[in-house]
Chain A
Amino acid sequence: MKKLIITAAFVVFGLISCKEGFLTVVPETNLSSATFFKKEADFQQAVNAAYVPLRNIVNDRAWLLGEMHSDNTYYSRNILFGATEQQEDIADFAVPTANGVTSNTHVLNQYRLDYQIIARANQILTLIDDVDFAADSKNNLKGQASFLRAFAYFELVRYFGKVPLHLEPVTVRQEAALPLASVDEVYAQIIQDATFAASNLLPKSKQEAGRATSGAAKTLLANVYVVQKKWAEAETLLKDVVNSGEYALMPDYNDAFSTTTGNKNNKESVFEVQFQEGSAGYNGSLIYNFLPRPMSPEELKPISGTSNPQPLTGEGNNTPTPDVIAAYESGDLRKDASVGYVTLSGSLRSNKVYPYIKKFAKTHSLHGNTGNNWPVYRYSEVLLFLAEAQMEQSKLGEAAASLNQVRSRAGLANTTASSQADLRNQIYQDRRSELAFENKRWFDLVRTGKAIETITAYGARIKANPLDYYYPEGALPRSNAFSNITELYALPADEGALSPNF
C-alpha cells in the first residue's frame, strides 16, 4: 500500500504543475489587436498613426515622382557615383516598364506608403462605430481618417490610374489583393470620403494645429474637381475656403514656409506634413535630398547652419532646371526665395555653380535632421485654383482678381491677360512659379494635357545641351533617357508578383 501511495504521489506531483492556462502565454510587451480598438483613446492613437506615412511620402518619394519627374528639376550628374539609376530613371522618363509593371523602387514605395495610410484608415472607419463615445470626437476622428484615405487614393489614382480599392481591413491572406478598380470608381470613393471629411472636420481655428481640417478637406475635394474639370463644384468649395476667414497669404513669400522649429501651420497653411527636428525620429532630411553633390562641409555649412556638417557625397537630386529658373517673370520675388546657388569645389564640371531649392533650406542644428513642415496645400494655391475655376467658367474678372492676390504678394503687377486663353496661360505660369518644387508640376502637366508635349521638348533640350543640365563635360545622358514618356506610372512589379490582378 505504501508503494501505491508513493506512486500516486509521484503521478499527482506532475499533474499539479499543469494548471489551466499554462499554455496561454500572451505577449507582454505588445498590445494585441484582440484588446485594442476598444476605447476612444485607441482610435485617437490609430488616427495619429495614419498620418505617419505622410512623412515618408513627402521626404523620400513625392518629390521624385511629382517634381523631378517634370521639367522643373533634374539630377546633377556625378559620374563617380553609381547605383543612381532608380532616381535617374524617374527624372529621365525612362522608368523601365514591361507587362504593365515597373521594377522602380520609388514607384513601389510610394504605392506601399499610400496603402499604409489606407489600411490604417480602414481599420478606424470599420471599427469605430462599434465603440460608443462622444459624437463630436468620433466625427472628428472619422473625418480625419476619411481625409487621409481620400488623400492617399487621390495620389494613387493620379500616379497609376486603376488601382485596387480597399475599404475594409484585411484579416486573412486570401483577402490581401483585390482587383483593380476603375478610375471612376476610385474618384467616386475619393469624393465620398473628402465630402464626408469636409462636413465632419473642424475648421482650422478649432482643430489642433497640423491635423486635417474642413478647409483642407474642401481644398482636397476642389483639387479633385479641378482635375475632373468640374469647375463650378470646385469654385463653390474654394469660395467656402476663401470666405471662411481662416486663411490669408503671408505678406512675405519667404514666410509661407515653416522653419525647422517655427512658423509651422501659419495663416497661409491649409495642410502640411508635420516634422520635428531631433533624434526621436520625427524629423525630415528634405534639403539634404535636394542638394547637388559632392559638397564639402564648408560649402554645406552656410546652407544648413549646422555646427557638424558632413560632406555630401553621391549624386544630387531635384536641382532646379534652367527651364524653371527662366520661367520666373522679371521682378518676381519668388525667384530668389525659391532658388539659391552654391559653388561645389569637388564638382567635375568646369562650371561649379549649381542652383538648389532654397525655399525649404532653413537652418537647423543637427546634420541631416530637419524639422520644417512640408506644404501640401497653401492658401495661395486655393486662390490659384479659384482663379482657374473662374477662368474656365469665363468669369475672367473674378479670376484675375483671385490671381492678382497671389501676384501682388510676389511683387508683380496685376495680370494684363485679357482673353481666356491668355489668362489660362498666366494662371499656369503663376502656378509654376508660386508652387515650384512643391510636387505640383507633374500633376499640373498631366491634368492640363501638356505632359507629353512638354516633356518631349524638354528631353530634346537635355540631349542637345547636357552641359546646361548639370552633366560634367564629356558625360552624356543615358541612351534610354526620355524613352518612356507616359502620363501614368506602371504599377509596381513587386506588388504585381503578389497580386493575381495585375
Chain B
Amino acid sequence: MNFKFTIRRNKYYLAGVFLSLVLFCSSFAFSQVKGRVSDQSGEGLAGVSVAIKGTSKGTQSDANGNYSLEATNGSVITYSFVGYEAKDVTYNGQKEINVTLGVDDNLLNEVVVVGYGSQLKKNVTGAVQTVGAKEIKDLPVSQIGQKLQGQLAGVQINQTTGKPGQGMNIRIRGQLSVSAGSDPLYVIDGFPITGNIGSMNPDEIEEITVLKDASSTSLYGSRAANGVVLITTKKGKTGSNVSFNVFTGIQQVPDRGLVKMLTAEEFAQFKKEYYTDAGQPVPAEFQNPSQYANQNNDWYGALLRKAPLQSYNLSLSNNTGKSRTSVVAGVFNQQGVVINNEYKRYSLRINNEYDVSNKVKIGFNVAPQYVFDNTPRTDGDRGTGILFNALHTWPVMPIYDSNGDLTLFNRFPASTGNIFAYPNWVRAANELVNETTTTNLISNAYIQYQPIKGLTLKSTFNVEMLRSKFFFFNPSTATSAINVAIPTTAVSIRQNVESLAWLNENLATYTRSFNDHNFELLAGFSNQKFTEESTRIQADTYSDDRLPTVQGAININRGGTNTGVQEWALTSVLSRLTYNYKGKYLFTAAVRRDGSSRFGSDNRWGTFPSFSAGWVISDESFLKDIQKISFAKLRASYGVIGNNNIGNYTSYALVNNTVNAVFGNTVAPGAIVSSLANTNLGWETTKQFDIGLDLGMYNDRITFVYDYYTKNTTNLLYSVQIAQESGFSNFNDNIGEIKFWGHEFALNTKNTTGRFKWSTNANISFNRNKVIALADGIDRVYGLFHITKVGYPFGQFYGHIAQGVYLNEADLNSSPQVPGRSTVGSIKLTDQNGDGIITNGGNEDDRVIMGNPFPTFTYGITNSFSFGKWDASIIGSGSQGNQLLVRHLYSTANLDGVFNMVEGVKYRFRSVDNPGLGMYGTTVGGGNVTGIERDWMNSRFVADASFFTIKNVTVGYTIPKISKVFKSARVYTSIQQLYVFTKYWGGPNPETSAQRDGNGDGGNLSPGVDLSNYPVPRTFTIGANLNF
C-alpha cells in the first residue's frame, strides 16, 4: 500500500489520492462451473457477461455462448447482456448451468453511453438523449446530421444547403456566441475529434448520445458549452453476421419554392415601362417585348438536373467470446442536382476488441476514409454563387448562341442600362474545377486492466489524421462572378492541408456497493495536441487553359500564396463521483480542469464543476401502488462549462510583416503591429441549470421526458470594436452575457401492439435567448442586416418598417420623407424616432427590430408501423415562428433594372392611377429614389420561414430465412425530403442560412440569411438489407 510516484503538479493529486484509496485484495476458495447462454430461439449468445455478484470475478461467453467460471457455493451468478434481461442464478454446486435470456423491452434498463463511461438509463441524472442506428437506418442520405433531423428534443438541426456532404447546422439548446464557434463537440468512441462528422459513414454508427445539460457535459470542460454528441461505432455482437446494405435512388429539385423571376418577355416589358415612365426613349432592344415570348432563358433551371445516388455497405460482425470484431466497408456515390457536382466516399472501419485475460482487455479501432468532392461554386453572393447569380441574369440573355453552343458571356449595350457583364453560369458550373479530396484516419487504441475487484484502469491513445487537397481552376472561358467579361484571367488555387491530432487519456474507475450504497468514482488525466499545416498557391494568367499547372501561369499571386501552421494543446484532469442509494436517490458530482494553449498566458487554467441529483419517485411506496405510472424520476443539475473555440492565437499581439512600401522602383518590406495582445483572454463560460422529469406509464408503453433549462453564457469572446484613432480596430476580450432558457418535451408511445404495431416518437422544443450585456458602454452590435442589442434576443433583423409607397402628392407631403430622395411612388418607411424625417445610419435613426431568425419552437415526429413482414415509417420535422432575410431581394428587387427581378415588381407603383400592390415603388428617379428601398434594409426583405417537412417516408418488406446462406433480407423504398409545408417565398429551402465566418452573411451576428444556397433535392430510393 505504499507505492510512490511523483506528483508533478497539484492537478494530479485527485488521481493519486483516488488510486491509493482503492487498492486492496482478498481471496476465497472456488470450484468450476460451465454452461451455455442462449437467446429465446436457442441461438448461443456470445459476449454475455457472466459474473459472481458482489465480486470482480467474471467472464464472457464465447462465440457459441459457452462459458466457464469458478464459483463458491451460495454465490449468485449474474448473466447480463445489452438488450437482454439480466438473470441471476444461485450456485449450489451444479456442474453445468444453462440459461436463456429474454429480450429486454424495458427501456429503463437500457444502458446509456455517457461521457467517460456508461450508465443505466434509469440512473442517469443529466439531460441526455440517445438515438440508435436502427431508428434512422433507412434514410438515403450521406450525413448523420440529416438522419438526426426531427429526432432530438432541444437540438435544432438545419440543412442549410443541399450540397452533398455539407451544410448541416447543429445547435444544441440554441447555444450561440458573438464570435466563438457554436458547433457541438463530437466524440467518437471517447475521442473528441477536431473535424466534423459531415463525412462520416452513418453505417458505422451504433448509437448517438446527445449530452445537453452541464452535468452530462462538464467532463468535457472547456469544450462542453455547445453540448456534446457522443458517437459509438459498431462493435462485434453475438456470433457471426455478414450484412450487405444497398440503396440507389434519383434526386430532383421540387418546383415548390423556386423563386419566381421575370420571364424574358416580362423583363423586356419592365424595361420598356422603365424608360417610358422616365420620359426617355426606349432602347431598341426593348421596344417590342413580345419578341422574347419564345426566347425565355431560365438560367437557374439550366443549372439543375436529375441526379442519381448509390450507397453500398458491407458489414461483418464477429464475436468469438474472447475477441470481438466489427468491420464496415462503405461506398457512397452521389451526383449533385446541380450540374457537374459529384460526391464520393469510400470508407472502412475496423473495430477490434480482445480479452488478453479476464483482467486485461485491449482494443483497436481503425477508420480510414477517402472523400472526393467536386462542387461548382453554387453558394454565395455575386462573387461566387452561381445560383444566386443565375437568378440575377437578364432572361433575355441567351444561354446558347445561334450555333447551339454555350455563350461566353452576355452584355447588352450600355444604353439599355446593362451595367454588368453576365458570364455564362452553365459554363461556370461545367468548366470551373472546384475539387476537394480528403483522406482521413481516425484510430483508437486502448488497454484496460482490472487489478482488483471494482477497479478498472484504462489508457487510450487516439489519433486523427487528415490530409485534404483542394484544387480550383477558373479557366479563361468562364467565371462564377457577375461583372467579369470573358475571356477572363485564368486563375488556379491549390491548397493542401495536413493535420494531426492525438489524445492520450488515462482513466481509473472504481465501483463499489455496500448496504444499498452504490458508488462509482472516476478519475483521469489527458493530453491532446493538434497541429495543422497548410500550403496555398494561387497563380493566374495562363497562356493555355489546358495546362493549369503552377509553372504554366505567368503570375504567382503573392497575396493568395502562403503557408500556415495552426496548433493547440490541451492538458486536463477530470474526476466524477456517482452515488446512489437503492437506485432511488441518485447523485453525481464531476469536475474537469483544462489548461489550454489558446488561453492567454495569465489565464491558462479553467475549472468546470457540475452537480446533479435524481430521485426515482416511482420506487417510493406512495407511487408504487399506482399502476399507471411504471417509472418516474425527477432530476436536477447545475454546472459550469466552457467554450474554447476562440481561435488558436487570439491572445497574441501579432506583427504583420507584409505591409510593404514602394520607394521609387524598389519594394521595401514593411511591418506593423496588427493586433493587440490580451494575456487574460480565456474561454467562454456557461453556467447551466437543468430540471427534468422522466416518466413511464402503462408499463412504459408511454414514456415522456421533460426538461427545463436555463443557462448564462458570460465572458463571450468578443472582438470589441475600439476607436480606430488607436490604430487598431478591435481588442479581443471576454465580455458580455447571454441568457438562454428553454423547455423540451419528448414523448414515445406504443400506440398499438400485437400484429399491427404502431409507435410514435414526438418532440418539441422551445429555446429562447436574450442578450444581457455586451461590452461596457456598448449596448448593441450591428451585423450585416442585424442588430444584437442588450435586452433583446441575439441577431435580430434590423431595418425600416415598410408601409407601402407614397400614393400621391398629398400622401408624400403629409408623411415623413427621406430628405432629397422621397418622391411620389417611392417606398414609404416609418418614422420611428419621431423627428419627421427618415434617416438610415447611426444609433438614433429610424431602424427597428423587424424580425427574428430564431423559431418559437421546433419539433419532430416519427411514426413507425409494422404489420407482419411489412414495416413503414414517416419522419417529419418542423420549425415555427422563425424568419429569414431574403438576401437576393437586395438586387432582384433593384428597380433600376440592373438585374433580373422577382415577379412581384410587375405590380410596382407606376403612377398615381396605377399604384400597384404597394410592395415595390416607382422606377422613376434612378438610384437616388430606388436606392432607398434597395439599400436600406426594410421589412419587405423579411419572410416567415416556418415550415414542416416530411423528411422521409419508408416502406419495407422483410423476407424471412431464404436459405442457409441468407439469414434474412429486407427490401424497402423511401422518399427523402418528400414535401415542405411552408409559406416561405424567398427560396426553396426554409431551413437555409448562409454559412460564413465573421460577421458577413450568416456570420454569428448575422444569422438567418437566405443566400440562395444549393436547393435540397427530393430523393426517391429503393434499397435492400441482406443478412448472411
A residues with CB within 8 A of B: 3-8, 10-15, 17-18, 22-36, 42, 44-46, 48-52, 79-85, 94, 96, 98, 101, 103, 111-112, 115-116, 118-120, 122-123, 163-164, 166, 169-173, 175-178, 208-211, 261, 264-265, 274-276, 279-282, 294, 296, 310-311, 313-314, 345-346, 348, 474-475, 478-481, 493, 495, 497-500
- Chain A positions within 8 Å of B931 at CB level: 82-83, 85
> Which residue of B5, B280, B728, B898 is within 8 Å of A176 (Cβ)?
B728
Knowing A18-B8, A23-B569, say if A48 contacts B668 (CB, 8 Å): yes
For residue A377, give the distance in angstroms from its CB to the closest CB of chain B.
16
Q: Are B660 and A52 in contact (CB under 8 A)?
A: yes
> Which residue of B485, B604, B664 is within 8 Å of A310 (Cβ)?
B485
Bound complex: CA A34 to CA B649 (Å): 14
Q: Are A280 and B419 in contact (CB under 8 A)?
A: no
Of the stretches B104-112, B302-310, B409-417, B434-442, the one at the interface is: B409-417
Give residues 661-690 of B contacting A (CB, 8 Å). 661-673, 676-677
Q: Are B527 and A22 in contact (CB under 8 A)?
A: yes
For residue A441, give the distance in angstroms from its CB to the closest CB of chain B.
25
> Which residue of B419, B649, B670 is within 8 Å of A313 (Cβ)?
B419
- Check B841 for interface membership: any CB of A closer than 8 A: yes
> Which residue of A44, A169, A474 is within 8 Å of B727 (Cβ)?
A169
For residue A200, give the distance in angstroms from its CB to the closest CB of chain B.
18
For residue A190, give the distance in angstroms from its CB to the closest CB of chain B.
16
- Chain A positions within 8 Å of B843 at CB level: 497
Bound complex: CA A456 to CA B425 (Å): 51
* Known contacts A94-B820, A276-B667, then 14 further A-B pairs from the complex at CB < 8 Å, ordered by chain A residue: A22-B569, A23-B596, A31-B657, A46-B670, A48-B668, A51-B670, A79-B927, A81-B927, A83-B931, A176-B731, A261-B665, A280-B558, A311-B411, A478-B928
Q: Are A82 and B676 in contact (CB under 8 A)?
A: no
Q: Are A282 and B660 in contact (CB under 8 A)?
A: yes
- Chain A positions within 8 Å of B567 at CB level: 25, 28
Give residues 753-796 of B contacting A (CB, 8 Å). 777
Q: Are B731 and A172 in contact (CB under 8 A)?
A: yes
Bound complex: CA A282 to CA B666 (Å): 11
> Which residue of A15, A27, A84, A474 is within 8 Å of B927 (Cβ)?
A84
Q: Are A209 and B663 in contact (CB under 8 A)?
A: yes
Bound complex: CA A444 to CA B63 (Å): 97
- Chain B positions within 8 Å of A208 at CB level: 663-664, 666
Most chain B beta carbons < 10 A, residue from A176, A493, A497: A176
- Chain A positions within 8 Å of B662 at CB level: 210, 274-276, 282
- Check B547 for interface membership: any CB of A closer than 8 A: no
Bound complex: CA A11 to CA B726 (Å): 51
Q: Are B896 and A80 in contact (CB under 8 A)?
A: yes
Closest partner residue, chain A, to B11 (CB atom):
A18
Bound complex: CA A112 to CA B711 (Å): 39
- Chain B positions within 8 Å of A123 at CB level: 672-673
Q: Are B669 and A478 in contact (CB under 8 A)?
A: no
Q: Are A296 and B5 in contact (CB under 8 A)?
A: no
- Chain B positions within 8 Å of A348 at CB level: 280
Q: Are A80 and B664 in contact (CB under 8 A)?
A: no
Q: Are A279 and B673 in contact (CB under 8 A)?
A: no
Q: Are A115 and B459 in contact (CB under 8 A)?
A: no
- Check B506 for interface membership: any CB of A closer than 8 A: yes
- Chain B positions within 8 Å of A42 at CB level: 671
- Check B935 for interface membership: any CB of A closer than 8 A: yes
- Chain A positions within 8 Å of B420 at CB level: 313
Q: How many interface residues does B have (CB within 8 Å)?
A: 108
- Check B565 for interface membership: any CB of A closer than 8 A: yes
For residue A169, give the distance in angstroms from its CB to the closest CB of chain B.
7
Q: Name 8 A/B residue pairs within 8 A (Cβ), A-sorted.
A: A7-B457, A14-B526, A82-B927, A98-B842, A208-B666, A209-B663, A310-B485, A499-B723
- Check B926 for interface membership: any CB of A closer than 8 A: yes
> Which residue of B568, B648, B671, B677 is within 8 Å of A45 (Cβ)?
B671
For residue B563, give the distance in angstroms from its CB to the closest CB of chain A.
7
Q: Are A46 and B726 in contact (CB under 8 A)?
A: no
- Check B751 for interface membership: any CB of A closer than 8 A: no
Closest partner residue, chain A, to B280 (CB atom):
A348
- Check B720 for interface membership: any CB of A closer than 8 A: yes
- Chain B positions within 8 Å of A346 at CB level: 413-415
A-B contact count (CB 8 A): 299
Q: Are B926 and A48 in contact (CB under 8 A)?
A: no
> Which residue of B485, B568, B655 is within 8 Å of A25 (Cβ)?
B568
- Chain A positions within 8 Å of B559 at CB level: 281
- Chain A positions within 8 Å of B777 at CB level: 500
Give the dominant DSSP class at A's interface.
loop
> Which residue of B459, B652, B724, B934 is within 8 Å of A27 (Cβ)?
B652
For residue B933, give the distance in angstroms from its CB to the closest CB of chain A.
11
Bound complex: CA A24 to CA B595 (Å): 10
Knowing A46-B670, A116-B727, A119-B726, say if A10 contacts B506 (CB, 8 Å): yes
Knowing A7-B3, A18-B8, A18-B571, say if A36 contacts B722 (CB, 8 Å): no
Knowing A11-B19, A82-B934, say if A178 contacts B527 (CB, 8 Å): no
Bound complex: CA A24 to CA B652 (Å): 12
Q: Are A122 and B597 in contact (CB under 8 A)?
A: no
Knowing A30-B656, A32-B655, say if A294 contacts B504 (CB, 8 Å): no
Bound complex: CA A98 to CA B837 (Å): 13
Interface string of B971-1005 (1 = CB under 8 A from A): 00000000000000000000000000000000000
Bound complex: CA A22 to CA B572 (Å): 12
Knowing A14-B527, A30-B649, say if A82 contacts B725 (CB, 8 Å): no
Knowing A45-B669, A48-B668, say if A14 contacts B525 (CB, 8 Å): yes
Most chain A beta carbons < 10 A, residue from B6, B558, B569, B820: B820
Knowing A11-B15, A42-B671, A208-B664, say if A170 contacts B676 (CB, 8 Å): yes
- Chain B positions within 8 Å of A210 at CB level: 662-664
- Check B245 for interface membership: any CB of A closer than 8 A: no
Q: Are A81 and B896 in contact (CB under 8 A)?
A: yes
Bound complex: CA A60 to CA B667 (Å): 21
For residue B499, give the distance in angstroms from its CB to the closest CB of chain A.
14
For residue A502, give the distance in angstroms from its CB to the closest CB of chain B.
10
> Which residue of B9, B670, B841 is within 8 Å of A48 (Cβ)?
B670
For residue A486, give the distance in angstroms from its CB to the closest CB of chain B.
17
- Chain B positions within 8 Å of A5 at CB level: 3
Most chain B beta carbons < 10 A, residue from A25, A26, A85: A25
Across the A-B interface, the 5 shortest Cβ-Cβ residue pairs:
A119-B727, A82-B927, A49-B670, A346-B414, A210-B663
> Which residue of B3, B655, B723, B731 is within 8 Å of A31 (Cβ)?
B655
Bound complex: CA A397 to CA B557 (Å): 57
> Which residue of A4, A175, A264 is within 8 Å of B726 (Cβ)?
A175
Interface string of B408-451 (1 = CB under 8 A from A): 00010111010111000000000000000000000000000101
Closest partner residue, chain B, to A89 (CB atom):
B820
Most chain B beta carbons < 10 A, residue from A173, A281, A345: A173
For residue A470, give the distance in angstroms from its CB to the closest CB of chain B.
15
- Check B752 for interface membership: any CB of A closer than 8 A: no
- Check B959 for interface membership: any CB of A closer than 8 A: no
Q: Are B654 and A23 in contact (CB under 8 A)?
A: no
- Check B623 for interface membership: any CB of A closer than 8 A: no
- Check B819 for interface membership: any CB of A closer than 8 A: yes
Bound complex: CA A224 to CA B457 (Å): 79
Bound complex: CA A459 to CA B525 (Å): 76
- Chain A positions within 8 Å of B280 at CB level: 348, 474
> Which residue of A25, A34, A175, A480 is within 8 Å of B653 (Cβ)?
A34
Q: Are A276 and B653 in contact (CB under 8 A)?
A: no
- Chain B positions within 8 Å of A120 at CB level: 672, 727
Q: Are B419 and A80 in contact (CB under 8 A)?
A: yes
Give residues 705-761 of B contacting A (CB, 8 Å). 720-728, 731, 733
Q: Are B414 and A296 in contact (CB under 8 A)?
A: yes
> Which residue of B652, B653, B654, B724 is within 8 Å of A495 (Cβ)?
B724
Bound complex: CA A265 to CA B595 (Å): 56
Bound complex: CA A82 to CA B826 (Å): 14
Bound complex: CA A120 to CA B657 (Å): 13
Closest partner residue, chain B, to A475 (CB atom):
B926
